[in-house]
Amino acid sequence: MREEKKKRLWIACELYYPEDNTTGFYMTRLAEGLAPNLDVHALCGQPNYHRRGQRAPKKERRNGVSIFRVSSTTFDKNIALLKIINMISLSLSMFLGGLRWFRKGDTVLIVSAPPTILFTVGLAALLKGCSYKLLIHDNYPEMLVAAGTISKDSFWENLYNFLNRWLYKYASRVIVVGRDMAETADRKVKGFDIQVSVIPNWAELESVSPQEKSENVLLASLGLSEKFVLLYAGNMGYPQDIHSIYEASQRLSDLDDVHFLLLGSGTKRRVLEAMIERDEPSNITLLPAQPRENQKDFLNACDIAFVSLIEKMKGVSVPSRTYNIMAAGKPILAITESGSEISQIIAEENNGWTVRPGKADELERVIREIYSRRTSLSEIGELSRRAAVGKYSEALAVQRYLEILQ
């Protein structure tokens, strides 16, 4: 009997293996997880983040996935103008790649990183007779408004919303990574017969697990094993409320036992470095971003871990680091708005605390409260780990994608 031919799926995203930043990692794992059931192809660019400078083959097959890499500029993304040039060149190259390789009847899953490829790859899919689904990691233009890049009700926001109406009108499904993001997506598909689905990102349970603080190599090397450590690990860009963490650390300088360990890179890191150089605080250690393979070490290098977003980010994005903090069995101290996905998780799992963005005084008060009951934190951490295993595993996420994509 002839074996049934697998449905052909394209995953279109900027970053894929060997890039191992958040998007590159998740999209590679998702594609390879779907490969046993679907004929999976990846349309992507060259590495431009952690692996910038490395040239990968234009075409290769890896773990059941056929990878097609287009050429584009790979300038320094931390310089705004160069980042825009990268986005434009990549989007045009992926449009041409779609016209070249898509076939009528294919399904294309387009990832919103960067957001410009949603439009160019979506157009290529329509021209080639393919259906496309949108995977939204960050909602635009809401992200730009929250970051202060454009103004609310400005010409640029209205133009973006106009283009979004075209984009969403022809999508066969919209997938978002948070329940608050689904509310935003529902407004964008209003009047269209399009379903919005929520599939959270997942915890890397195979590589991240709880570790005794006394066994942590990073803390030992920094001389912090006996301190009460609050960790921020991740991007330090416009959407992250780094200032509240720094201000709270200065308000807590009277507690000699409390120390802040901050790891990451991004535009706000330079501001943070300047404040540390100016104030010379003794209760802060700032380190560069750490390799993904060291997650178990640095996520366990604390008693409490931060997740931090500025105002107006509700419904816009969900920090994926949250799930690996939970995998490490750590309580979460989230700087976020009420009703956000992170605040909902904490309310459901009782695995942390939430503080409003921009409220350093409130953050200080909550940290003092946590410190006063620090002997009970292990029980809260166990709730984090239990939720990661039971609700946020890779297997569950891939199965949800498969149900939609088949």
Answer whether the bond into residue 200 is a cis peptide, omega within 30°: no
Structural domain for 222, as ranges: 213-391
Q: Which residues 6+ apart lie within 8 Å of 154 measured at CB?
A: none
Give the pLDDT confidence score for residue 51 in this predicted structure.
Answer: 73
Count the Cβ atoms, other than its own, within 10 Å of residue 76. 10
Statement to judge: residues 66 and 144 lie in one domain: yes
Statement to judge: residues 231 and 374 lie in one domain: yes
Statement to judge: residues 237 and 196 lie in one domain: no
Q: Which of 112, 201, 119 is nearest to 401 (CA)?
A: 201
Give the pLDDT confidence score for residue 21 in this predicted structure.
Answer: 86
Statement to judge: residues 378 and 282 lie in one domain: yes
103: in domain: yes
> Model confidence over 308-347: pLDDT tens digits?
999 999 999 999 999 999 999 999 999 999 999 999 999 9
Contact between 45 and 90 under an 8 Å Cβ cutoff? The reply is yes
Mean pLDDT by 10 residues, the chain (406 residues): 75 94 94 97 89 86 97 79 88 96 97 94 98 97 94 95 96 97 96 96 96 95 97 94 97 96 93 95 95 94 97 96 97 97 97 97 98 93 97 97 94
Contact between 255 and 248 under an 8 Å Cβ cutoff? The reply is no
pTM of the model: 0.93
Statement to judge: residues 299 and 317 lie in one domain: yes
Statement to judge: residues 185 and 262 lie in one domain: no
Statement to judge: residues 91 and 108 lie in one domain: yes
Statement to judge: residues 177 and 310 lie in one domain: no
Cα 64 from chain centre: 25
Statement to judge: residues 183 and 223 lie in one domain: no
H/E stretch holding 293 reads none
Statement to judge: residues 217 and 181 lie in one domain: no
Distance CA 196, CA 183 (A): 9
Give the pLDDT confidence score for residue 81 in this predicted structure.
Answer: 82
User: Which CATH number characterizes residue 39's domain?
Assistant: 3.40.50.2000
Statement to judge: residues 34 and 74 lie in one domain: yes
Bridge partners (DSSP) listed for residue 198: 176
Angle formed at CA 215 by CA 212 and CA 216, multiple of 5 degrees: 95
